A and B are shown apart, each in its own frame.
Chain A
Amino acid sequence: GNSVTQMEGPVTLSEEAFLTINCTYTATGYPSLFWYVQYPGEGLQLLLKATKADDKGSNKGFEATYRKETTSFHLEKGSVQVSDSAVYFCALSLYNFNKFYFGSGTKLNVKP
């Protein structure tokens, strides 16, 4: 089947620390991969995406590389800020299934 697995949270970091949130996937076909962010009390917003193997998505200092050989799409940021505190969701879409699949979400807390 198709699924997304994320590391469990919460992840608590100090400001300016390095962030990695792990995401691996299982897909029957060639998915597009996404990271979404959800700030408290809001809906999800697209953070970055990658549509084929070895693509790197980046936005607002966040990066993730589509690794087909390890079926992974880990999210990284070199220096987190308090304003990055949110829940992060890894997701995939498959054209032939017409669906999106989301991970369970990872809550990030950044302390000053």
Chain B
Amino acid sequence: EAQVTQNPRYLITVTGKKLTVTCSQNMNHEYMSWYRQDPGLGLRQIYYSMNVEVTDKGDVPEGYKVSRKEKRNFPLILESPSPNQTSLYFCASSLRITNHEQFFGPGTRLTVL
């Protein structure tokens, strides 16, 4: 089954404790992206990747890191989480950037205390 998986689905952590949210797709997609969803703000793009070893900032990259060492995986790293990073996070992938449907993962709800 074609899908995007994220882990964990739920995470409660404390300020400053490094964490990684994993994302994996099995569709051989080139483009992958991370979004955060906050009430009233919709989805905002954090980072995206055009292909292996090619990543770039979205609109809200501060406090986040990503890497793309393999085509299927695109982890999101929070080196020192803060309460303002409490949010619902979605990973998405698509064949290429334009005209192509993005497939979304189920989401990760992160709470930083």
Contact = CB atoms under 8 A, between A and B. Distances in A.
A102 B104 CA distance: 14
Interface of A: 4, 6, 32, 34, 36, 42-46, 49, 51, 89, 91, 93-95, 98-105
Interface stretch (B11-19, B38-46, B64-72, B77-85): B38-46
Secondary structure at the A interface, as helix, strand, loop or mixed, is strand
A98 B98 CA distance: 8
Contact of A32 (B41, B59, B98): B98
Interface size band for B: 20 to 34
A96 to B, nearest CB: 9
Interface of B: 4, 33, 35, 40-45, 48, 50, 56, 58-59, 90, 92, 97-99, 101-102, 104-107
B104 A95 contact: no
A42 B43 contact: no
A102 B58 CA distance: 12
A93 B42 contact: no
Given A43-B106, A43-B107, A95 B42 contact: no
